[in-house]
Amino acid sequence: MIYFVNEYVMALNSGVEHAEFKRLAVFKHAKTSAKILTRDYNYSLHRMAAGFDLDQDDLLNMYDFFQDATMVSPKKTSTKTLHLPFQYQVSPDANVSRVMQGGRLVMKIHHTPGRVGELGFTEFFDTYGNITNRVFYDDRGFKSGEAFLNQAGQVFAEVLYKPNGQRALERFYEVTEDGKGTVLFNIRVVNYQGRDYYFNSEDELFTFFLDEVNRKDGLNDVFIADRPSIANSPLIKMTTPAKKYIWFPIAHATDPFDQVESPLDGNYVEVLSNHLNRIDGLITMTQAQARDLRTRLHSNSIQIHVIPGAAVSDEQLAAGQLPAVNKKENKIIYVGRLEANKRVDDLIRAFKLVLRKVPDAKLDIRGYGSSEFVASLEKLIKELKLTDQAVINGYTPKIEAVYDQAKVFATATSSDAYPLAMTEALSHGLPLVAFDINYGPSEIIQNGKNGYLLKNGDVYGFSEALVKLLQDPAELQDMSSEAYASAQAYSLSKMWQLWQPLVETEKATVGVKMS
């Protein structure tokens, strides 16, 4: 089995998760078994995953595993599931129902978003109005967990249950020195294979989980650490024989312009500096990052696979081309995280320059980020008097139709291992405009054919490239046709050809490990 090791699947996902979704599509196309393996407890995991067309068998969650809940026949819950005492009075509501006993609030029932009346979690109150505990209901229809709170409203203990009601795990917290929060300090796995196990952190439990999954499958599974901050360390600490790979969803060093000599990103120090001999290979999404890693590691003996994170469905590749000149709006689209290194502020400033020559242009910004950073972008839009032309539309899971409404895709990011949205945009016939940065754009954009690759930081040149595409219908159409053609390189079949050599390591070790 091949496992893509990650932290979570959420309602709002980053490029790490989207790359995994695309990867799953590649493996399904090749009829090869693979799963996304997640660490975090989330009673809404499977509802959120379903929003990205994933089913239970596409995921393996650590807590599901110990709760004997990896595959559960879903059933609906409602207030009736709680078997409330007859003396309680329920005031029903679509989002939060209140439960009273006489004039006292004893309970709040939080319903699952989008599922009328179903249980999400409940809160219980003491006679002073303090929350004493919360009970969580898995979206597949069983009581999943319970959190107990101290008088300050902080969680001090949790119990997680199996679908049959038996205890599966217990988690204990202690208050931090400043008294403002709590930290997890002990986890007990209850009666797992006839005995209890104790762990001091989720990292320890996660390593144990990876080894147990490997044992259950008969050993020598393939594990690919996708999210470096939580997957790299547990992976290299595994004790069972397995094939282990480190994937690079970000640049590996701190200076985006010097990936050879600048200090390593903290997520990669342990594995690249001290434990490279414990892994079977590295996976980058570009040839450029692979070259920089080989130079940095001073060795050609570590196996490095180059596999783009992108993949385009056969249905999208077979869809008819939409003539760019027939699109009514001069819309530019950005899709990605809203954070400082994505330089969306520079994109907005470049767009301000575009409006001087294309006054009816629109900028459609799609993505999510911290509320503070999004607020700073909204403030900039207001200061530049762009509120009618530039709009932040938030995270959009089903974005295909949005791409089809735009004419050009633009990103001003200063660092990225591989901007997945760029290949998505190509498959919808959008020419690309981006800076030449580490990594990705130079291996996706054929400068002057399917887009423009600008010198990093040249905001004026960036704006001029956008203007040229919006003002020249013939060039826009030519580049749109080239964009559609470029997307063929990311077909499921072609991506599978790149994955095959690595997947075959289930049967035979490939490459030579560094000692």
Domain at 2-70+202-306: CATH architecture: 3-Layer(aba) Sandwich (3.40)
Return the CATH fold of 314-490: Rossmann fold (3.40.50)
Cα 60 to Cα 277: distance, rounded to the nearest angstrom: 27
Cα 299 to Cα 122: distance, rounded to the nearest angstrom: 56
pLDDT at residue 162 in the model: 98
Single out the residue of 338, 366, 341, 299 nearest to residue 439, CA to CA. 341
DSSP 243-292: EEEEE-SS-SBSSTT-TTTSPBPHHHHIIIII-GGG-SEEEESSHHHHHH
Structure tokens at 154: 């902080």
pLDDT at residue 503 in the model: 87
Half-sphere exposure of 159 (CA within 13 A, CB side): 13
CB atoms within 10 A of CB 495: 24
Each domain of the chain, given as residue ranges in start order, spans: 2-70+202-306, 79-199, 314-490
DSSP classification of residue 69: -
Half-sphere exposure of 512 (CA within 13 A, CB side): 5
Question: Is it true that domain 79-199 has CATH number 3.90.930?
Answer: yes
Count of residues making up the chain: 515
Helix 228-236 vs helix 202-216: crossing angle, to nearest 10: 60
Cα 241 to Cα 259: distance, rounded to the nearest angstrom: 32
pLDDT at residue 513 in the model: 36
pLDDT at residue 505 in the model: 59
Structure tokens at 440: 């990705």
DSSP 392-413: E----SS-HHHHHH-SEEEE--
Q: Which residues lie closer than 8 Å to 375 by C-beta, 6 or more apart?
A: none
Mean pLDDT by 10 residues, the chain (515 residues): 98 97 98 97 97 97 98 96 96 96 96 93 96 97 97 96 98 94 97 98 98 97 97 98 97 96 97 95 97 91 93 96 94 97 97 98 97 98 98 95 97 96 98 97 98 97 98 97 98 97 63 33
Do 2-70+202-306 and 314-490 come out as alike in CATH topology?
A: yes
